[in-house]
């Protein structure tokens, strides 16, 4: 018996019946408690070999310079960089190709990922701030649109070298590097020292539904005791009560995570696998999000193996020619797969943690994993980029290829990645999703547009058509 039939059979007595939130749509219930949007930015050193990172698929043209393919349709691993930990995440991530830093020269630098600019000091000065502007994470954290109320911490930042992060402020026209914390224990203390609890109210939606059903059944018992209620109506009412009892028995707990600091964390120490350090950091991030201590986290992943800390080795294989050095290509895939697994650990953790609305926290968290450079020439065409989560804000489960067709190459160098469109469009997309107006970030760049847009000596006009649109949002990717 549906609700309309029940109301008709009870007549005037139906006024005593409560509304049944337990039978409302999930959309209506979600409106009762909406989780905040959150961001996690992760970057690793060196670049990716194109043949290792991107999937080998046949993409379909959806716009003049955009080809896409569905990641869930890929049989087996997405690529050599993405191991089994990613197999269950294909529908929850997207991979973007053809997003370029438009600059005449590039090299190792920490400013490309979130500033969209090469370093101010030029090549080789990877510790310098951006030539133009500030980083997207800093611009988001200072916006009242993203933080209507000042949080306990605007952002948490982790790097094994506290002087080597990718976040930069700019309050007086001069970019300054923001401090990072170098140990998992230090990050834990920074986030939870002196914290006495709080966070958003936590109610299990399933428990709330169960309580409503109990109250409704009690009301039914009162109605059944009324003499005016005929035998057939009592039978109908009992059938409906039995139906509600069955619904209650079938409810599955959707208890959101409680706001409690991780209590049994074993902090990394010398001799332990390096993965523990980053997985602890991931746990701290999720706990901080659960308690609403912060809504932004930035993590610089410099390690590449559980035990090997020879960074010159990792740098060396990143310079090898992937087309001719099969050994270096395999070594690079292994190192970057170790990094990818740390990213997958975070995404899976967010996906298994229930938010205040009883849905996975990942649905309201945008995770961005990127690199400082692309191929072995240390170029910045096609910066390797992955996005996870974000719910209905971005298109997931998709391989986006924004490279220009027919393929074009900067300085006619076919051993460089084919050029695409400005990477700044991706960063501006994220900032708009965060609620920022263009006026909050566009002044932080070259010629009044976010990021850098510099033609080089060997430029053949590949990017000229994007001069006026380099801060537009990415087509199709943003929903």
Cβ 152 vs Cβ 289: under 8 Å: no
User: 6: which 2 tokens?
Assistant: 């029940």
- Identify the weakest region by mean pLDDT among 40-49, 248-257, 388-397: 248-257
For residues 283 and 349, give the distance between their C-alpha atoms in angstroms, rounded to a whole number: 8
pLDDT score, position 8:
46
Q: Where would I find the H helices in 80-142?
A: 112-115, 136-141
- Identify the weakest region by mean pLDDT among 23-32, 183-192, 276-285: 23-32
User: For 478, phi and psi rounded to 5 degrees?
Assistant: -85, 125
pLDDT, tens digit (0-9, with 9 covering 90-100), for 16-40: 344 334 434 444 444 447 899 999 9
pLDDT, tens digit (0-9, with 9 covering 90-100), for 415-446: 889 999 999 999 999 999 999 999 999 988 89
Give the confidence band of 125 by pLDDT, cuts at 50, 70, 90: low
Is residue 148 predicted with pLDDT exceeding 80? yes
pLDDT score, position 14:
39
pLDDT, tens digit (0-9, with 9 covering 90-100), for 300-322: 999 999 999 999 999 999 889 88
**Length of the chain measured in residues:** 479
**DSSP 8-state class, residue 186:** H
- Identify the weakest region by mean pLDDT among 121-125, 288-292, 382-386, 396-400: 121-125
Cα 290 to Cα 91, 145, 255, 365, 472: the distances in Å are 24, 20, 12, 12, 33
173: left (phi over 0), alpha (psi -120 to 50) or beta: left
Cβ 470 vs Cβ 425: under 8 Å: yes
Reduced to 3 states (helix: H, G, I; strand: E, B; else coil), residue 102 is: strand
Cβ 90 vs Cβ 74: under 8 Å: yes
For 194, residues 6+ apart whose C-beta sits below 8 A from its C-beta are none
pLDDT score, position 377:
81
As to burial, measured by CB atoms within 10 angstroms (0-12 exposed, 13-18 middle, 19+ buried), residue 11 is exposed
Cβ 417 vs Cβ 404: under 8 Å: no
User: 158: which 2 tokens?
Assistant: 């982790």
**DSSP 8-state class, residue 478:** B
Q: What value does the mean pLDDT take over residues 238-254?
A: 63
Cα 42 to Cα 87, 278, 298, 331: the distances in Å are 20, 11, 6, 21
Q: Is the peptide bond before 406 cis (omega within 30 degrees of 0)?
A: yes
Dump strand ranges (E) for 326-432: 365-371, 385-389, 398-401, 421-422
Q: What is the pTM of this model?
A: 0.83
pLDDT score, position 13:
37
Is residue 78 predicted with pLDDT exceeding 90? yes
Cβ 289 vs Cβ 361: under 8 Å: yes
Q: What value does the mean pLDDT take over residues 389-403?
A: 94
pLDDT score, position 84:
96
Percent of the chain topping pLDDT 70: 82
The DSSP line for 375-394 is STT---SS--EEEEE-TTSB
Q: Both ends of the chain: CA-CA distance in Å?
A: 39
Spatial CA neighbour of 328 closest among 66, 127, 47, 68: 47
* Beta bridge partner(s), residue 176: 169
């Amino acid at each position: 018996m549906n609700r309309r039939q029940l109301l008709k059979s009870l007549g005037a007595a139906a006024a005593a019946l409560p509304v049944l939130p337990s039978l409302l749509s999930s959309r209506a219930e979600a409106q009762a408690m909406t989780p905040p949007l959150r961001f996690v930015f992760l970057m690793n050193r060196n670049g990716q070999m194109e043949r290792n990172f991107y999937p080998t698929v046949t993409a379909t043209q959806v716009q003049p310079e955009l080809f896409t393919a569905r990641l869930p349709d890929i049989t087996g691993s997405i690529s050599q960089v993405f191991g089994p930990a990613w197999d269950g995440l294909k529908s929850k991530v997207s991979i973007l190709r053809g997003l370029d830093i438009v600059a005449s020269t590039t090299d190792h630098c920490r400013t490309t990922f979130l500033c969209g600019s090469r370093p101010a000091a030029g090549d080789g000065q990877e510790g310098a701030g951006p030539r133009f502007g500030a980083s997207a994470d800093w611009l988001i954290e200072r916006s009242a649109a993203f933080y209507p109320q000042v949080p306990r911490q605007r952002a948490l930042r982790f790097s094994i070298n506290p002087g080597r992060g990718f976040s930069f402020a700019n309050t007086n026209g001069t970019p300054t590097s923001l401090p990072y914390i170098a140990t998992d224990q230090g990050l834990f203390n920074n986030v939870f020292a002196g914290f006495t609890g709080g966070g958003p109210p936590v109610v299990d939606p399933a428990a709330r539904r169960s309580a409503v059903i109990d109250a409704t059944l009690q009301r039914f018992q009162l109605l059944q005791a009324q003499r005016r209620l005929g035998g057939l109506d009592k039978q109908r009412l009992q059938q409906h009560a039995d139906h509600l009892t069955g619904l209650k028995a079938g409810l599955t707990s959707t208890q959101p995570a409680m706001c409690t600091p991780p209590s049994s964390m074993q902090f990394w120490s010398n001799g332990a696998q390096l993965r523990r350090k980053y997985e602890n950091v991931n746990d701290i991030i999720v706990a901080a999000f659960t308690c609403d201590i912060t809504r932004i986290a930035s993590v610089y992943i410099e390690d590449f193996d559980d035990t090997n800390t020879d960074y010159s080795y990792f740098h060396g294989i990143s310079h090898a020619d992937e087309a001719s050095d099969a050994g270096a290509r395999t070594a690079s895939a292994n190192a970057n797969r170790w990094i990818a697994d740390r990213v997958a650990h975070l995404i899976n953790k967010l996906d298994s943690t229930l938010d205040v609305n009883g849905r996975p926290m990942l649905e309201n968290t945008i995770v961005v994993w990127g690199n400082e450079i692309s191929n072995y020439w240390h170029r910045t065409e096609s910066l390797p980029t992955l996005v996870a989560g974000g719910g209905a804000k971005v298109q997931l489960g998709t391989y986006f290829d924004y490279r220009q067709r027919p393929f074009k190459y900067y300085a006619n160098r076919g051993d460089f990645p084919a050029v695409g469109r400005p990477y700044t469009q991706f960063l501006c997309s994220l900032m708009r999703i965060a609620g920022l107006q263009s006026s909050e970030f566009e002044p932080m760049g070259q010629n009044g547009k976010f990021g850098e847009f510099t033609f080089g000596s060997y430029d053949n006009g590949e990017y000229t058509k994007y001069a006026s649109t380099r801060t537009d949002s990415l087509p199709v990717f943003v929903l």
